[in-house]
Amino acid sequence: MKNEVNRNHALPQNHCNQTILSLGQVMGATEIGFSDLSVLPAQKRMNFNRAITVVIKLSDGILNQIGAEPTQTYFSHYRSVNRLIDDICLRILLALEAQGYPSVAIPASQSVADPEDQFTGAFQHKTAAVLSGLGWIGRSALFIHQRYGPRVRLGTILTNAPLRVAEPVTESCCGSCRSCVSACPAMAIEGSLWKPGMPRNQLYDAFACSHHMKEAYQHIGRGVVCGLCIVACPIGK
């Protein structure tokens, strides 16, 4: 099956967009999105005004093995996909800089030292993905891709390259579904319906989630993951 890069967007492409789309497809990206960051505070976007979102779909075969707890196979797959995303983002960054556009690639999985939030990254991948029109934020606080649901991992490149951008998603499509709320073993998901600008802590308790994973799944691997809310979501199955 061919990768469906930028399947959801009929953007009028310029040369820069097309170069990135082609590179992403060759390297294995499932989809590439383009967003306008100018709606965000300059400090939050590191003074860049565009973002490129790299989407990799997780394996259904591996996710479907998850039952009452995550598997070692999923743990390994999660890390492998993160490495692939970082490789794709680096290649795109180098291509942009070769054209004279300094850029920053945000690692697929990274926490930064923030006294107010120990579970945040240098830039939120979900923010760029929503602004690029690829999906919305679920009750679980996970990014929900329009086709693949939460069964994706994301990477982001920040740039000032002259990219054509898509229209952002501005409302949740979760409706009355609460499958992730019921599935969470840490009872960390509040159950609220996402709206743009909503703080993460109104959707879920990141500390409770992290604490449960460390306590319950340490035998699976260092830097544990869960995935139960992912497999509970009906979108993408």
Model pLDDT for residues 201-229, shown as the tens digit of each residue: 999 999 999 999 999 998 887 667 999 99
Angle at which helix 72-98 crosses helix 15-27, to 10 degrees, equals 150
Q: What is the pLDDT of residue 223?
A: 66
At 60, list the tokens.
Answer: 């259904």
Determine whether 234 is exposed, middle or buried from the number of CB atoms within 10 Å of its CB (0-12, 13-18, 19+): exposed
CB 39 within 8 A of CB 170: no
Report, as ranges of residue numbers, the positions in the chain whose pLDDT lies below 70. Answer: 1-13, 111-118, 222-223
Cα–Cα distance for residue pair 152/143, rounded to 1 Å: 8
At 46, list the tokens.
Answer: 């590191």
Would you say the C-alpha torsion 114, 159, 135, 62 has a positive or negative sign?
A: negative
Q: What is the pLDDT of residue 119?
A: 73
Q: What is the pLDDT of residue 154?
A: 98
Query: How do beta strands 31-36 and 103-106 pair?
Result: unpaired
Q: What is the pLDDT of residue 6?
A: 47
Locate the domains of the chain by residue range: 15-232
